[in-house]
Amino acid sequence: MKFFALIRANLFRKKVRLLLTLGSFAVALFLFAFLAVVRDAFNRGGSVASANRLVTINRVSIIQPIPLSYRDKILRIPGVRHVTFDNWFGGVYQEEKNFFPQFVIDPENQPQVFPELVVPEDQWNAFLKDRQGAIAGAATAKRFGWKIGDRIPIKTTIYGDANTAWEFIIDGIYHGQRQEDDETQFWFQWDYFEERVPEALKGQVGWYTVQLDSPDDAVRVSKAIDAEFANSPNETKTATESAFAASWVKQFGNIEFLILVIGSVVFFTLLLVTGNTMAISVRERTGELAILKAIGFQDGSILLLVLAEALAIALLGGVLGLALAEVAIPALSNALNGMLPNLILSKSMLASGLGFALLVGAMSGLLPGIGAMRLRVVDALRRI
């Protein structure tokens, strides 16, 4: 603590350089936080997935439908507790930029299979009685200012006449039980959908979600479902919900690798910038460091002084960058309008970010610090 004044004085010696270095750290940490939340958003499918849920899709592709008649056959397979089905609607609310995911749901089984997405009982009962009823996620309802009873027109882009809007009535709002649960979805009745789609698409669903008695049955039941429909016109592919989420992410490319590459570039660039700054800063002070050694500062103390300075810069810059991220990421998440799951900057990400900043700070101060530590007083004084 008694060295605080010395460290602080050295820190603020060149204010412009300090600001630029803090800026480098802040930008890098902001980017770190952004990459971390994007990675988390892409991987969240796996982490929020229930261990006892399977997803069954058409073996050809998820955009190929599968018959509704499969439901009863799946339900008969031992180990299956509930089956529900969904269809992707892909409609446009007012303008295309107002994107949010819309699903045709099976009201009978939805609450049993997805218990983490909760609708108040009275609202759910109203929904069940309302053919045009819809349930909106809390985030989407908030985004558009929807209330119970509002009429929501959505134009279809896949099913039927694109100029005709389908009208829905908001009967309820669902909330996720966990922070990472997606609250942007919009659900509506299967019967309403079925009555309005072209004849050729009737009786077809997008995918089934199967709830198991036990996660231990996942492999056996998956195989049994796919075997049941083998050699049929609509063969199926069944996987655990987390595997399904992972394969969904893979469609976007190797996000993990991309983030790793960008992160590495940021890390090494920051290391070079701050390492160079610290080296220059220490070289400028060769004479002063020599004096400190002359009057009795040990080599280790000199190293610690340089490291403390580097760590202080890293900490300040890191906190600044993460604070910016804390403000900007929720705004960014809103601006993405459900294109990605919620961008959540968690405490563990903030802690990792600070750890990352301190690691770069320590590494950038280490070499100049060792140089200062090894400085020969006589040589340094001769140069003054």
Partner 1 sequence: MVSVNNNGNSSALIQVRGLNKTYRRGSEQIQVLQGLNLDVDQGDFVAFMGPSGSGKTTLLNLLGGLDVPTSGTVSVARDEITHMSSGKLTEWRARHVGFVFQMYNLVPVLTAYQNVELPLLLTRLSRSARRQHVEAALAIVALPDRADHFPRQLSGGQEQRVAIARAIVSDPTFLLCDEPTGDLDRKSADEIMALIEELVSKHNKTVLMVTHDPLVAARAHMVLHLEKGVLVEASKSRPNITAGGAA
Q: Does 15 bind partner 1 (CB under 8 A)?
A: no
Closer Cβ to partner 1, 13 or 151, answer by number: 13
Q: Does 288 bind partner 1 (CB under 8 A)?
A: yes
Beta-strand (E) ranges in 89-231?
102-105, 117-118, 133-137, 151-155, 165-176, 186-189, 204-205, 207-212
SS percent in the chain: helix, strand, coil, step 5: 55, 15, 30
The residue from 3, 131, 260, 348 that contacts partner 1 (CB under 8 A) is 3
Task: Give Cβ neighbours of residue 18 (< 8 Å, ≥ 6 apart).
Answer: 11, 12, 313
The residue from 145, 296, 347, 383 that contacts partner 1 (CB under 8 A) is 296
Closer Cβ to partner 1, 86 or 309, answer by number: 309
Lookup result for tokens 């056996």? 220
Q: Does 10 bind partner 1 (CB under 8 A)?
A: yes
Q: Does 295 bind partner 1 (CB under 8 A)?
A: yes
Could you give the C-alpha distances from 333 to 177, 326, 329, in angstroms and in order?
A: 19, 11, 6
Smallest distance from partner 1 to CB 339, Å: 50
Contact predicate 124/111, CB 8 Å: yes
Q: Does 299 bind partner 1 (CB under 8 A)?
A: yes
Q: Does 381 bind partner 1 (CB under 8 A)?
A: yes
Lookup result for tokens 């350089």? 17
Burial of 170 (0-12, 13-18, 19+ CB in 10 A): buried
Smallest distance from partner 1 to CB 278, Å: 16
Q: Does 370 bind partner 1 (CB under 8 A)?
A: no
Q: Does 12 bind partner 1 (CB under 8 A)?
A: yes
Q: Does 358 bind partner 1 (CB under 8 A)?
A: no
Contact predicate 66/226, CB 8 Å: no
Binding segment for partner 1 (CB under 8 A), chosen from 142-150, 207-215, 294-302, 323-331, is 294-302
Binding segment for partner 1 (CB under 8 A), chosen from 30-38, 244-252, 253-261, 376-384, is 376-384
Residues 240, 217: Cα–Cα separation, whole Å: 11
Task: Give Cβ neighbours of residue 129 (< 8 Å, ≥ 6 apart).
Answer: none
Binding segment for partner 1 (CB under 8 A), chosen from 49-57, 165-173, 284-292, 311-319, is 284-292
User: DSSP for 234-282?
Assistant: S-EEEEEHHHHHHHHHHTT--HHHHHHHHHHHHHHHHHHHHHHHHHHHH
Smallest distance from partner 1 to CB 9, Å: 4
Question: Which tokens hold the place of 157?
Answer: 């882009």
Smallest distance from partner 1 to CB 13, Å: 5
Contact predicate 98/144, CB 8 Å: yes
Q: Does 294 bind partner 1 (CB under 8 A)?
A: yes
Residues 112, 84: Cα–Cα separation, whole Å: 9
Contact predicate 278/310, CB 8 Å: yes
Q: 208-243 as b/e, with b when 16 or more CB fall inside 10 Å?
A: bbbbbeeeebbeebbebbbebbeeeeeebbbbbbbb
Closer Cβ to partner 1, 73 or 374, answer by number: 374
Q: Does 298 bind partner 1 (CB under 8 A)?
A: yes
Closer Cβ to partner 1, 292 or 320, answer by number: 292
Q: Does 232 bind partner 1 (CB under 8 A)?
A: no
Torsion of CA 366, 368, 371, 373, to 10 degrees: -60
Smallest distance from partner 1 to CB 305, Å: 11
Binding segment for partner 1 (CB under 8 A), chosen from 128-136, 146-154, 241-249, 373-381, is 373-381
Contact positions with partner 1 (CB under 8 A) in 80-99: none
Smallest distance from partner 1 to CB 374, Å: 10
Contact predicate 245/252, CB 8 Å: no
Binding segment for partner 1 (CB under 8 A), chosen from 275-283, 287-295, 311-319, 349-357, is 287-295
Q: Does 16 bind partner 1 (CB under 8 A)?
A: no
The residue from 88, 159, 248, 297 that contacts partner 1 (CB under 8 A) is 297
Smallest distance from partner 1 to CB 299, Å: 7
Q: Which residues bind partner 1 (CB under 8 A)?
A: 2-3, 5-6, 9-10, 12-13, 287-288, 291-299, 301, 377-378, 381, 384
